[in-house]
Structure 1
């Protein structure tokens, strides 16, 4: 019988360093580590039998990777392409399941509020798209296109007939413009609103601080200690907050907040102070505008459109308060709630910077154009049904 001669393996300095890195790497795949060790031992003139015994693999395995490296170098240590098992599903199957996921369940006749991957797999079989399919396959297909039909967001069409005009005025103020002119240095923009019903929940057992491998723990049971409202005025360009607490919202608490701001510098001597507010009952309509102007002639009230409180920058500050001050809600009484809100206000003002407001007039026009296009599409779809 002819004698089988092992392939001669030569390893240069750069390739040796890479092989050593693979052979010693803590995160290297086991198969890559074994292949690198085979080549390194082969370069040291060890026989296939010696290498197989040292590494606990078969001689055929050693012979395979030794030969591939000798022929192709490092590229030879990669797995060759494999045909694998033929796919059970075609591109048409995937497209049909994706289209089903992009429909409301009611359109498919399913008594569901939202799709889930198991329900989509079940519906695909029920509609004859395929004989069988797993939820994991559906999940993998949807992940490629970032489709998540089990999630949802609420939204609202603009109902204010003057939505664009009112929104543009607010956005102009954020860019220090009013009626086409730049604001003077002694003109200020205040964003104001109320955060209602901040409760004092006294937990039945003390909250436990976080520890090693343990998050903070808050007891589920609590006793109600009442609720209060937190009113805040935020200077958009100076990043300064003025706040106060009240038993409830209303005209009197809101005007008390206005008094607190407008009787302090630099607002008391300002040429104009613009107050951006939403359409809440305490500052709604022309009556509120006139009431503010009578009390402070240099104050100008500017309303956001109806259902557009997201244009009011103070809402961003309220979201900070919710995350850092109120949640988790664990207070002994309302006095503690008020004290923490007051202390946080001072802490916030010490380091606050203006919010990076990036939503402009152009963004507003793009948004309204998309909404208008969506409305036209909805009307087009409904017309055949109406006929």
Structure 2
């Protein structure tokens, strides 16, 4: 099972003054003035069972993520697997039946599965992107886009060497409880609004 998405607009910001690391009783110091060095998108596919990331940097998103799909689907065990599920959100580059058909035409054993609308957080690639945000691109001090690419590629290699699959703790029972609480909250709000006197 592959969880995939893109992290857009990772900017190369060349600070006018170098960032100072934190010291004793001093927080990190990041200068707010910078020169823009461009932006790129980090496309990533995460094998949720093997904790392995495939990534690439592109100047923009769009239908180009098929290059990432090709990168994954032409390697084993995916190339000869009976089915490979691709979990994606409803982003414009992989939304709807056209995206499903495009994937199936290119790789008949690939099955696209969309997360519910407004629930892209259920896609495990978002956990990986949160790690990338904290450990790789913050505070976003890069002289140019090649430095961004190099750091992302180096992090992927290190991550693949040490990562373990994410352990979900949110069960279907937890989901049922959450939905029941939301229903109760909605009913309470409706009762409150209907009990208010009208002017």
Q: TM-score range by the shorter chain?
A: over 0.9
Count of residue pairs the alignment pairs up: 198
CA distance in structure 2 between the partners assigned to 1:193 and 1:294 by the alignment: 20
Match of 1:160 in 2: none
Q: TM-score, normalised by structure 2?
A: 0.94
1:262 paired residue among 70, 73, 93: 73
* Deviation at residue 214 of structure 1 after TM alignment: 4.1
Where 2:170 maps in the other structure, the secondary structure is: coil
- Return closer, same or farther for 1:207/1:297 CA change in 2, 3 Å cut-off: same
* Deviation at residue 210 of structure 1 after TM alignment: 4.2
Asked whether 1:335 is paired with 2:146, we answer: yes
Where 1:364 maps in the other structure, the secondary structure is: helix
Asked whether 1:384 is paired with 2:195, we answer: yes
Any idea what the Cα deviations from partners look like across 1:168-218, whole Å, max 9, x if unmatched?
A: xxxxxxxxxxxxxxxxxxxxx111111111111100122234445544433
* Deviation at residue 219 of structure 1 after TM alignment: 2.2
2:84 paired residue among 266, 269, 273: 273
Match of 1:75 in 2: none
Match of 1:9 in 2: none
CA distance in structure 2 between the partners assigned to 1:210 and 1:302 by the alignment: 43
CA distance in structure 2 between the partners assigned to 1:372 and 1:214 by the alignment: 47
Match of 1:224 in 2: 36
CA distance in structure 1 between the partners assigned to 2:151 and 2:5 by the alignment: 19
CA distance in structure 2 between the partners assigned to 1:386 and 1:264 by the alignment: 66
CA distance in structure 2 between the partners assigned to 1:308 and 1:207 by the alignment: 36
1:364 paired residue among 175, 179, 184: 175
CA distance in structure 1 between the partners assigned to 2:70 and 2:189 by the alignment: 48
CA distance in structure 2 between the partners assigned to 1:260 and 1:352 by the alignment: 20
Match of 1:233 in 2: 45
CA distance in structure 1 between the partners assigned to 2:121 and 2:66 by the alignment: 22
Where 1:251 maps in the other structure, the secondary structure is: coil
* Deviation at residue 269 of structure 1 after TM alignment: 0.9
* Deviation at residue 294 of structure 1 after TM alignment: 1.0
* Deviation at residue 265 of structure 1 after TM alignment: 0.9
Any idea what the Cα deviations from partners look like across 1:28-63, whole Å, max 9, x if unmatched?
A: xxxxxxxxxxxxxxxxxxxxxxxxxxxxxxxxxxxx
Where 1:300 maps in the other structure, the secondary structure is: strand
- Return closer, same or farther for 1:380/1:212 CA change in 2, 3 Å cut-off: closer
* Deviation at residue 287 of structure 1 after TM alignment: 1.4
Output aligned runs, 1:280-299, within 5 Å. Answer: 280-299=91-110
Q: Which has the higher contact order (CA 8 A, sep 6+)?
A: 2
* Deviation at residue 375 of structure 1 after TM alignment: 0.9
CA distance in structure 2 between the partners assigned to 1:368 and 1:212 by the alignment: 46
In structure 2, stretches of 5+ residues that fail to align are none
Asked whether 1:346 is paired with 2:164, we answer: no
1:250 paired residue among 50, 56, 62: 62
CA distance in structure 1 between the partners assigned to 2:99 and 2:169 by the alignment: 29
Report the structure, 1 or 2, having the larger strand content.
Answer: 2
* Deviation at residue 385 of structure 1 after TM alignment: 3.0
- Return closer, same or farther for 1:373/1:293 CA change in 2, 3 Å cut-off: same
CA distance in structure 2 between the partners assigned to 1:209 and 1:369 by the alignment: 47
CA distance in structure 2 between the partners assigned to 1:368 and 1:219 by the alignment: 44
